[in-house]
Amino acid sequence: MEVSEDLNLGDLPEDIVRVIFEILVEDDKCRPTYASVSKQIQSWVEPVVYRDVVVDVSRRFHRTVTDPSSTKPSTFFGLYVKSLVLQSYTTNQDILDILKKCYSVRSLVIWRGDDATPAEVEELHTLLSSSLLSPTMLSVTGAVFKPQEFKLTHSIFSQLTHLEIPVEVNDPWEWVPLRNLERLTHLSVDLYFNVEKNDPDPAETAKRILSFCPPSLRIFVVCPLPSDWDADDDDVCEATAEKIEAFSTGDIDPRIIVISYGSPFGEEHCNFLVDIQYLIRAWGHSSQGNIFWARAEAIVERRIAAKLGAFSLTE
């Protein structure tokens, strides 16, 4: 069968042309330019363009969602933004404005800095404790809210399958409400490791957290943090290393995965290393599958398969 060299997009059925542009916009780094080809193509590609949003320092996305002259329907971002990453340089007012527009977001990251005023923090807490947002995946920093300021019973937690929150040493979360998160399958927390100090024992803390998790929990990611941030890169005592190894090998619980940002806990102490750019890529494309959680799942699956294989050999 010969294909005419003069064939152009106008010769193809509209549904085929639409699929072509949806595929192009999925892979092309210059994908926003496709929206300027025609209004018809704009209506096809913009839902894909805005499906996963990482808000950068330019504030371009904030200007887009708050543009009073926009021709997009008022519900556009609420309907189409499915994953949203708000980084530390995003101002409190920008966060509020964006969240009010992207109310149906399924994967939400708020890595807030510590520079907000008490009034700004209160305003953000009011929004986050309202019924506006109900993501299935959530990652927040301690600057967004601390345990005494926020409860796991708020509606923003009610639909979660994936949750990443910090653990405070002297102000721990009330973990009992984890039982009510019936859909929770993945949990990630920070734990402080330094057995030479009077910190809570990380193994006991992990076991306590797990004891309150619902039966659905499959993955428990732990990021070990040093109690003394002035420690040298290689200053990990043998006792601390042994404690971390009990986590990374699954001895404490086979669902546990240990990650690290590097210093002072290196690759030898954890299951895999991460950095901020890796996490932005992972969370920034969550609608297509979060590579961070998928990597943790693969390690746990291999670990369980190995143990099952060893068990069958002993029968």
Question: Is residue 185's pLDDT more than 60?
Answer: yes
Q: Quote the DSSP letter at residue 262.
A: B
pLDDT at position 33 is 64
More confident residue, 252 or 29: 252
Question: Is residue 188's pLDDT more than 90?
Answer: yes
- Listed in sequence order, the residues at least 6 apart from 139 whose beta carbon sits closer than 8 Å to its beta carbon are 108, 109, 110, 111, 163, 164, 165, 188, 283
109: which 2 tokens?
Answer: 């990251």
pLDDT at position 17 is 61
Distance CA 189, CA 258 (A): 10
Task: Kindly report the pTM of this predicted structure.
Answer: 0.84
Q: What is the mean pLDDT of the chain?
A: 81
CATH architecture of 52-314: Alpha-Beta Horseshoe (3.80)
As a whole number, mean pLDDT of residues 221-245 equals 72
pLDDT at position 26 is 64
| Confidence band of 36 (pLDDT split at 50, 70, 90) | low
Closest CA to 290 of 178, 88, 175, 136: 136
3-state helix, strand, coil in the chain (%, to 5): 45, 15, 40
- Listed in sequence order, the residues at least 6 apart from 77 whose beta carbon sits closer than 8 Å to its beta carbon are 50, 65, 101, 102
Beta strands in the chain (DSSP E): 52-55, 83-86, 107-110, 137-140, 162-165, 186-193, 219-226, 256-260, 272-273
More confident residue, 187 or 92: 187
Question: Is residue 236's pLDDT more than 60?
Answer: yes
Residues found in the chain = 315
pLDDT at position 288 is 81
**Cβ atoms of residues 290 and 282 within 8 Å:** yes
As a whole number, mean pLDDT of residues 104-113 equals 91
* Amino acid at position 44, single letter: W
pLDDT at position 172 is 67
- Span of 62-71, 168-177, 180-189 with lowest mean pLDDT: 168-177
114: which 2 tokens?
Answer: 């510590």
| Strand partners for 220 | 187, 256
| Confidence band of 308 (pLDDT split at 50, 70, 90) | confident
* Percentage of the chain lying above the pLDDT 70 cut: 75
* Domain extent listing, the chain: 1-49, 52-314
198: which 2 tokens?
Answer: 């009077």
- Listed in sequence order, the residues at least 6 apart from 253 whose beta carbon sits closer than 8 Å to its beta carbon are 206, 207, 210, 220
As a whole number, mean pLDDT of residues 225-229 equals 64
pLDDT at position 296 is 97
